[in-house]
Amino acid sequence: VNEADFIQALRGFSSLIGDDSAVVPTPGGGDLLFTTDFTIENVHFKRSAPARHVGYQAVARSLSDIAAMGGQPLYCLIAIALAPWTTARWLDGFYRGARRALGGCRLAGGDVSHARDFIANVTVVGSVGRGKALLRSGARPGDRIYVSGKLGGWHHKKKIVPRLDLGRKLVGRASACMDISDGLALDLFRLCAASGVAAQLDTVPLLPRATEKQALHDGEDYELLYTVPSGRRAPGFPIGRIIDGSPSITLRGERIRPGGYDHFQQLGRKARV
Amino acid sequence: VNEADFIQALRGFSSLIGDDSAVVPTPGGGDLLFTTDFTIENVHFKRSAPARHVGYQAVARSLSDIAAMGGQPLYCLIAIALAPWTTARWLDGFYRGARRALGGCRLAGGDVSHARDFIANVTVVGSVGRGKALLRSGARPGDRIYVSGKLGGWHHKKKIVPRLDLGRKLVGRASACMDISDGLALDLFRLCAASGVAAQLDTVPLLPRATEKQALHDGEDYELLYTVPSGRRAPGFPIGRIIDGSPSITLRGERIRPGGYDHFQQLGRKARV
């Protein structure tokens, strides 16, 4: 079993699964967005990381999903499982960081439990105009592919900047959008698979000291990846073009394997999944 | 630091914190409810437990919070962190159990990660009429106190039955309501503290082979605890009465310490929190 197969099996349970956030209609006329993300010690951060940074990233990770849908974040739930090493001072720092990331999004509840490692789970509820959410499935042959920023920064250190303003600007402009959480190659492959198209990349904008390999296959960039119909203008870095074909990616003509961060692969090394 | 102090500190960040679910208005006229709950290996279940039971309980725990608010569950997000021992077969059982608990509530998304222990986080979104949610803060002197069922079953084994129908029936009838997740004594104390009242208990209805001590101080009963103005009829077991006074509980005239399951206490034995 790999993560893609597993998510595919889950989709059999519900048509709402598959984008960065779930999209559900409200009686008031708009759509609501729901997203939930783990932040786990030794997976997403090391105990030595500043508490504020951990809290900030935990919230920013979910806000980035709302940005990818073109939405406005409204409410946030923070569930935490305290580890034996967690001090009141550390928790205070964690919540300071979380609040800084929240901006105008309101903390609306949570849960407190305990575990061997510190774990946070952040759920964000957002809103977007009815039928206006940016999905992964709208890319069409001829569309240009963009990223919102340079890629390949070393992922545990970099501060996530959720591209909320850009996401809202892309509503009605981009044909498809998602955030890059598991590496450009894997995430672009997911976008291609959702849209039933292939991608030709010409270039990958790199952060200082980053390699193309890092930009393609490392996780946690949290830039937006989006497609725009040709002739329409959009901000960001153009990196290639959508073409007809079964889901695949080439960079300057060379085929790129859609390898990125896969939680099932991480386990596969030591486990039976 | 104990859990109560911590939750109190969090309330300083947001007025939405303090009930079983957050309550937020929607443009359509109703209120939305949000709740999030962890299910953690070695805290909420043992690896030897049947996967279906673990999945069922994980979802039922959050549905019980929606029931306690008098709400209707609409959407569910399930985030899971796979442990090294997690097999595809076990996961399949987990999701079968989760779906059985969901009933008409739709699975709308989630997250997949990995950790040393298996962890699930379930978020449920529900709805309730504008201003109709059952809160903890509405109990008044003279109200009768009820529980929805017998208490004190051994918590890791018992199947949670979210009291959704009862919760909806209590809307407009109960003055306050919550679910019993951490033991009657601690949860009733929380209700008293939220309402600024005291409680006199006459009796505690017990499950077969349960002791009064278990019913008062063990967690995970997941029955509803609610108060009803005198003269109004309500289903359930009457167990006592709300009186004037600072938050406290007596049982047949004897003072009961509000001790129950406190995650900070669990840590306190081995940690610095």
Which of A36, A112, A267 lies at the smallest CB-CB distance from B121?
A36
Query: Do the Cβ atoms of B112 and A40 come within 8 Å?
Result: no
Residues of B in contact with A14 (CB under 8 A): 106-108
- The shares of helix, strand and coil residues in chain A, as percent rounded to the nearest 5, are 25, 30, 45
What do you get for the CA distance between the two ends of chain B, in Å? 6
- The pLDDT assigned to A14 comes to 67
d(CA A23, CA A80): 25
Query: Do the Cβ atoms of A113 and B263 come within 8 Å?
Result: yes
A244 to chain B, closest Cα gap in Å: 29
B179 to chain A, closest Cα gap in Å: 14
Query: Do the Cβ atoms of A22 and B77 come within 8 Å?
Result: yes
Query: Do the Cβ atoms of B113 and A263 come within 8 Å?
Result: yes
User: CA angle B205-B210-B211, nearest 5°?
Assistant: 85
Query: Do the Cβ atoms of B77 and A34 come within 8 Å?
Result: yes
Residues of A in contact with B11 (CB under 8 A): none
| Top mean-pLDDT range of A112-121, A145-154, B17-26, B157-166 | A112-121
d(CA B151, CA B159): 13
Secondary structure (3-state) at A70: coil
Lowest-confidence region among A142-146, B80-84, B262-266: B262-266
Q: Which amino acid appears at position B52 of this protein?
A: R
| Rg of chain A, C-alpha, whole Å | 18
- The pLDDT assigned to A33 comes to 94
Mean pLDDT of A220-245: 95
Q: Which of A2, A62, A119, A269 to mutate to test the interface with B (most CBs of B within 10 A)?
A: A119
Q: Give me chain B's average pLDDT, please.
A: 89
Q: Does the pLDDT value for residue B9 go beyond 90? A: no
Which band of pLDDT confidence, cut at 50, 70 and 90, is reported for residue B271? Answer: very low
- Give the alpha-carbon dihedral of B271, B220, A43, A145, to 10 degrees: -150
- The pLDDT assigned to A235 comes to 96
The contacts of residue B225 (CB under 8 Å, 6+ apart) are B145, B146, B147, B148, B177, B178, B179, B180, B184, B187, B188, B191
- For chain B, what is the HEC assignment? CCHHHHHHHHHCCCCCCCCCCEEEECCCCCEEEEEEEEEEECCCECCCCCHHHHHHHHHHHHHHHHHHCCCEEEEEEEEEEECCCCCHHHHHHHHHHHHHHHCCCEEEEEEEEECCCCEEEEEEEEEECCCCCCCCCCCCCCCEEEECCCECCCCCCCCCCCCHHHHHHHCCCCCEEEECCCCHHHHHHHHHHHHCCEEEECCCCECCCCCHHHHHHCCCCCCEEEEECCCCCCCCEEEEEEECCCCCEEECCEECCCCCCCHHHHHHCCCCC
Distance of CA A251 to the CA centre of its chain: 22
d(CA A217, CA A259): 6
Mean pLDDT of A219-242: 94
d(CA A86, CA B43): 17
B149 to chain A, closest Cα gap in Å: 24
B237 to chain A, closest Cα gap in Å: 28
Q: Give me chain A's average pLDDT, please.
A: 89
How many other CB atoms are found less than 10 A from the CB of residue B42? 12
Which band of pLDDT confidence, cut at 50, 70 and 90, is reported for residue B258? Answer: confident
Which of A10, A26, A273 lies at the smallest CB-CB distance from B88?
A273
Which of A95, A121, A270 lies at the smallest CB-CB distance from B36?
A121
d(CA B243, CA B260): 22
Which of B27, B43, B82 lies at the smallest CB-CB distance from A30?
B27
Residues of B in contact with A83 (CB under 8 A): 271
pTM: 0.90
A26 to chain B, closest Cα gap in Å: 7
**Among chain A residues, CA nearest to B88:** A273
- The pLDDT assigned to A270 comes to 36
- Proportion of chain A above pLDDT 90, given as a percent: 74
Q: Which of B121, B122, B261 to mutate to test the interface with A (most CBs of A within 10 A)?
A: B121
Predicted confidence (pLDDT) per residue in B54-99, tens digit: 999 999 999 999 999 999 999 999 999 999 999 989 999 999 999 9
Which residue is it, tokens 């009963």?
Answer: B221
Q: Does the pLDDT value for residue A273 go beyond 60? A: no
How many other CB atoms are found less than 10 A from the CB of residue B273? 24
d(CA B233, CA B240): 14
Which residue is it, tokens 């509803």?
Answer: B224
Between strands B198-201 and B249-251, the pairing is parallel
Predicted ipTM of the assembly: 0.89
Question: What's the Cα-to-Cα distance from B169 to each of A99, A188, B69, B172, rounded to whole Å?
Answer: 37, 49, 11, 8
* Contact pairs from chain A to chain B, CB under 8 Å: 224
Contact B122, B59 (CB under 8 A): yes
Q: DSSP secondary structure string, A88-141?
A: HHHHHHHHHHHHHHHTTPEEEEEEEEE-SS-EEEEEEEEEE-TT----STT--T
A26: its two tokens: 């409200």
Query: Do the Cβ atoms of A38 and B7 come within 8 Å?
Result: no
- The pLDDT assigned to A266 comes to 59
Phi, psi at B247, each rounded to 5°: -50, 120
The single-letter DSSP state of residue A223 is: -
Residues of A in contact with B86 (CB under 8 A): 267, 271, 273
d(CA A178, CA A103): 21
Which band of pLDDT confidence, cut at 50, 70 and 90, is reported for residue A143? Answer: very high
A114 to chain B, closest Cα gap in Å: 6
